[in-house]
Amino acid sequence: MASVAYPVDEQSSAKAPGVLAALHEWVITVDHKRLGIMYIMMALLFFVVAGSFATVIRAQLAVPNNSLVPPAVFNRLFTVHGTTMVFFVGMPFFAGLANYLVPLMLGARDMAFPRLNAFGFWITLFGGILLYSSYIAGEGLAGHGTAPDVGWFAYAPLTERAFSRGTSTDYWILSIMLGGIGSTITAINVIATALSLRTKGMTLARMPLFVWMMCVVSFQVLVALPPLTAGQIMLLMDRYLGAHFFDTQAGGDAVLWQHFFWLFGHPEVYILIIPGFACVSEIVPVFSRKPIFGRAAMIGATVAIGFISLSVWAHHMFAVGMTSQANTFFAASTMLVGVPTGIKIFNWLGTLWGGRIRFDTAMLFCIAFLFQFLIAGLTGIMLGVAPLDWQLTDSYFVVAHFHYTLIGGLLFTLFGGIYYWFPKATGRMLNETLGKWHFWLLVLGFHLTFDPQHFAGFLGMPRRIYTYAAGRGWEGFNMISSIGAGIQGLAVLIFVINVIVSVRKGRVAGNDPWDAWSLEWATTSPPAEYNFETLPEVRSTRPLWDLKHPEDPDWKFE
Amino acid sequence: MLWLALAWLGLAAESRGQTVHAIADMFKPLASPASAVRDLSYLVFAICGAIFVVVASLLTYALIRFRRRAHLDDSEPPQVYGSNQIEIAWTVIPVLIVFVLTMTTARVIAALQDKPQPANAVQVTVIGHQWWWEFRYPGLDVVTANEMHIPVSTRANERPSFLTLESADVAHSFWVPQLAGKTDVIPNRANHMWLDPHETGIYYGNCAEYCGTQHANMLIRVVVDSAEDFDKWLAHQKQPAAADASAPAARAAFFGLACVTCHTVKGTRAIGAFGPDLTHLMSRGTLASGMIPNTPETLRSWVNDPQVIKPGSLMPAMQLTDQELAQVIAYLTTLQ
């Protein structure tokens, strides 16, 4: 046996069998594009799982006195559904979009810290798997095999050991903490990349709005996650080290947990939705054939949301018995955050105005977003009016409101983003016919599901109930809502089919299928590992517009 | 589960001639706090509705007016970058709207939260438990469960009820939409709210803060009595348990069982504090925190195995023999 020294790359590519080699490439990668795609695949996978949980929830609630699932199982369903959607769907979507697009938009070779980036992905994925492993490993009150059942905001003291025995709550704490490490890593990476790896000529003033918004999100992550992590560590200390932070039976404070949680939880809402804003701010201009209206105001409004959203958290707590002064303050700050959000909607409207609007599927999702997010914002104002919130909070009105923001707002923009950037990532277009079916079924299903829930809330239906009696006026609304959930499931199924079919047989996209203006469209689809062979000169916010229209370049006006 | 649904139909019978407000519509308020919120909501809905109509119309107009008309029209529209005047306009107008809304909101908050308590107010201490409600009338030696009696408060005879809300275990929330918005019920903390129902009847509500397995069946009934009926009710509830001589064997059997470790029967040695007070059990219309009507038959099913009716309930099935069960029910039904 003579020892032969193989070159490392030859060994890995030539000797390993096909599938394993490919898998190996993905596992060891530090390439921002592959990590971005893996983040998005992870988000979609968990979206399908937690979405199917939602359909079981809706099936149980379709009729009164239903006994499809027992109460304990139902409580785990909505807890894991909420936790997954926020931490293992919304956050990986942010990380995936940022990872894939920020370096390409900046003309960079990769993120600032590629190896840290890979670590961030794997720890996030592990967090998600840990959450679900509670189903087979978590020992709860009812014996082996129980998942967390304390709700996604896990109010104390229900999470204390006196009320949550076994380890199911620990799975909730630890999986979120791991996901938080991944989010923090992404945040640091995005900020460092945007600050230090912009290509020649790209000043901060010329940086794409998408990257600006991702930077604001990243700063929010860095500020908002620590209170959650601190609260969770205190909770672990309560549970295992005899501390009494939230242990009311030993003089602890249940409301303190709520402050810690929502100090994270409200900025988190904006952390989830601003990546959606970022997609809209790229897609709407391209399909209107105009630059974004009021770019500086858009950046200012995003930064303003970043700051104001840190001072509104206690609007989740109007009913806990704060003083009238505190309630007034948080009502005012909550309504104030509507102002920069309104500015954004007006600027998107201004972008449409005078354009030559094309209605491809990506744009349709953004248009639906504009209407739906408008409604979500207005119901948010209603909830910000504290006395009205005393009626509406923790009712189905709130369920409808935040699903309007997170599905009608965020999910629609993410689908828009996927239809828009899928050609860049795979080299092939998603099928437009299937795309339109996907879009219209989702619109229909979404409105059937969530519009009636507002009214169930008006009639006193509280959230998180596993059943309800007949005769309270809720039956019709719930039945329609459940039918809508099924239609949404069908829409998502069509989307999955579209992705599977198009990734193999879709129309070849070419470098720039949308005739767009930011740098990612200046390279091949999919981009080579090194991203760019050559980069156009950046002299304005729309380098490719300048290239295509030498007679009317942007830099003349900036 | 079918019999549960049937039992619910029987609940109409439990009302004993009182109006049942089963549809808890916040837009049909029957007390001042809920009316104040409803009136404020009209202003908020009007403003939000106007904003929606304006913005949605502009969006729709822009989408139709500025759509690409010819399919192959690849010419580019005029490139417009923005306008400072317009930006200022759509910043200032929303700020003014927010200002108006904030001022109006502040007034309603202060009026509802900081209302002084009149001398004739009825005091009730509400204690949330997993998954039932305890109502105590301080100074009156009255304790009941799941059905809170308060007097009607008419314009001629104002008599509001002031509630102090506490919890024995985890966080709950007290919500009867036709009477007032919700107030959380948080352990180690006393919260306050007030109600002044204008009409007699039974008002339905729910626990509105997720509190564990049976959160869904932590139902609230507020029984609003006329002034005379309320005083009569109080006088009756003050009495110790009736020592009915007709069932001495049943009584002896009950006090020989473990029931007494969790339940109180006033005037006896049953002084448990974990479960609902049973002193006047049969004066209540429902069992299991409003899940089923209170009849000897349903009471028997409940005591036999609460887990069938309310899975996860903290009351265990006591594995009573048929004879013990019959005796317990015989005794409990004397607690009028």
Asked if A63 contacts A467 with a C-beta cutoff of 8 angstroms, the reply is no
A231 within domain boundaries: no
Count CA within 13 A, CB hemisphere, residue B225.
14
Do the domain assignments include residue A467?
no
| Tens digit of each residue's pLDDT (9 = 90 or more) over B225-269 | 999 999 999 999 999 987 777 778 899 999 999 999 999 999 998
Determine the distance in angstroms separating the CA of A548 from the nearest CA of chain B, rounded to an integer.
11
Is residue A447 in some structural domain? no
Please state the pTM of the whole predicted model. Answer: 0.94
Nearest by CB to residue B188, choosing from A253, A394, A466, is A253
Q: Do A381 and B1 touch (CB under 8 A)?
A: no
The mean pLDDT of chain A is 94
ipTM of the complex: 0.94
Q: What are the pLDDT digits (tens) for A494-526?
A: 999 999 999 999 999 999 999 999 999 999 999
> Using a CB-CB distance cutoff of 8 angstroms, which residues of chain B are in contact with residue A339?
91, 94-95, 98
Using the predicted structure, report yes or no on whether residue A539 has a pLDDT greater than 60.
yes
Q: Which of A135, A165, A199 is the last residue of a domain?
A: A199
Mutate to test the interface with A, among B1, B59, B60, B220 (most CBs of A within 10 A): B59
- Does A313 fall in a domain? no
Q: What is the 3-state secondary structure (H, E, C) of A36-78?
A: HHHHHHHHHHHHHHHHHHHHHHHHHHCCCCCCCCCHHHHHHHH
DSSP A176-220: HHHHHHHHHHHHHHHHHHHHH-PPTT--GGGS-HHHHHHHHHHHH
Cβ contact B213–A324 (<8 Å): no
Give the residue from B48, B164, B189, B204 with the most A CB atoms within 10 Å of its CB, the best one to mutate. Answer: B48
Distance from CA of A339 to the nearest CA of B (A): 6
Q: Which of A91-95, A541-545, B2-6, B112-116 has the lowest mean pLDDT?
A: B2-6
**For position A4, what pLDDT does the model report?**
55
Q: How confident is the model at residue A537 (pLDDT cuts 50, 70, 90)?
A: confident
Quick: pLDDT tens for A116-174.
999 999 999 999 999 999 988 766 555 555 899 999 999 999 999 999 988 899 999 99
Q: What is the pLDDT of residue A1?
A: 42
Instruction: Name which of A327, A390, A458 is nearest B25 (Cβ-Cβ).
Output: A458
B52 close to A (CB below 8 A)? yes
Q: Is B23 on the interface with A (CB under 8 A)?
A: yes
Once rounded to an integer, what is the mean pLDDT over residues B102-122?
Answer: 94
| B196 within 8 A of B159, measured Cβ to Cβ | yes
Tell me if A45 is assigned to some domain: yes
Domain for residue A445, yes or no? Answer: no
- Whether residue A349 and residue B59 make contact (CB cut-off 8 A), yes or no, is yes
The mean per-residue pLDDT over the stretch B119-147 comes to 96
pLDDT-derived band at A428, boundaries 50, 70, 90: very high
Min Cα–Cα distance to chain A from B288, Å: 14
Q: How many domains does chain A have?
A: 2
- Boundary residue ending a domain (A199, A233, A258): A199
DSSP A337: T
> Which pLDDT value is given to residue A3?
55
Question: From the CB of residue B249, how many other CB atoms can be counted at a distance below 10 Å?
Answer: 10
Tens digit of pLDDT for each residue in A245-275? 999 999 999 999 999 999 999 999 999 999 9
With CB atoms and an 8 Å threshold, state whether A339 touches B52: no
Q: Give yes or no for a contact between A337 and A376, defined as CB atoms under 8 angstroms apart.
A: no
Q: How confident is the model at residue B16 (pLDDT cuts 50, 70, 90)?
A: low
Q: Residue B92: count other Cβ atoms within 10 Å of its Cβ.
A: 11
Is A13 a domain residue? Answer: no
Phi and psi dihedrals of A524, rounded to 5? Answer: -70, 160
| A158 Cβ under 8 Å from any chain B Cβ | yes
Residue A330: its chain B contacts at CB < 8 A? Answer: none
**Res. B69: pLDDT tops 90:** no
A72 contacts in chain B (CB < 8 Å):
213, 311-312
Mean pLDDT in residue range B204-212:
97
**Is the confidence at residue A16, as pLDDT, over 90?**
no
Average pLDDT over residues A375-388: 96
Instruction: Write the secondary structure of B151-195 as one string of H (helix), E (strand) and C (coil).
Output: ECCCCCCCCCEEEEEEECCCCEEEECCCCCCCEEECCCCCEEEEE
Domains and CATH numbers, chain B: 17-63+86-229 (2.60.40.420), 248-332 (2.60.40.420)
Average pLDDT over chain B reads: 92
Q: Are A355 and B181 within 8 A, CB to CB?
A: no
Query: A519 lies in a domain?
Result: yes
Hey, are the CB atoms on B188 and A319 less than 8 Å from each other?
Answer: no
More confidently predicted of B310 and A15:
B310
Least confident of B9-13, B310-314, B332-336: B9-13
* pLDDT of B4 higher than 60: no
Residues from chain A that touch B112, judged by Cβ atoms under 8 A, are 387
Give the domain extent around A165: 25-199
**Predicted confidence (pLDDT) per residue in A169-223, tens digit:** 999 999 999 999 999 999 999 999 999 999 999 999 999 999 999 999 999 999 9
Cβ-nearest to B52 among A157, A249, A375: A375
Query: What contacts 24+ positions apart, CB below 8 Å, involve B90-96?
Result: B90/A342, B90/A343, B90/A346, B91/A297, B91/A339, B91/A343, B94/A338, B94/A339, B94/A342, B94/A343, B95/A339
Last residue of a domain, one of A179, A199, A219: A199
Q: What is the mean pLDDT of residues B95-116?
A: 95
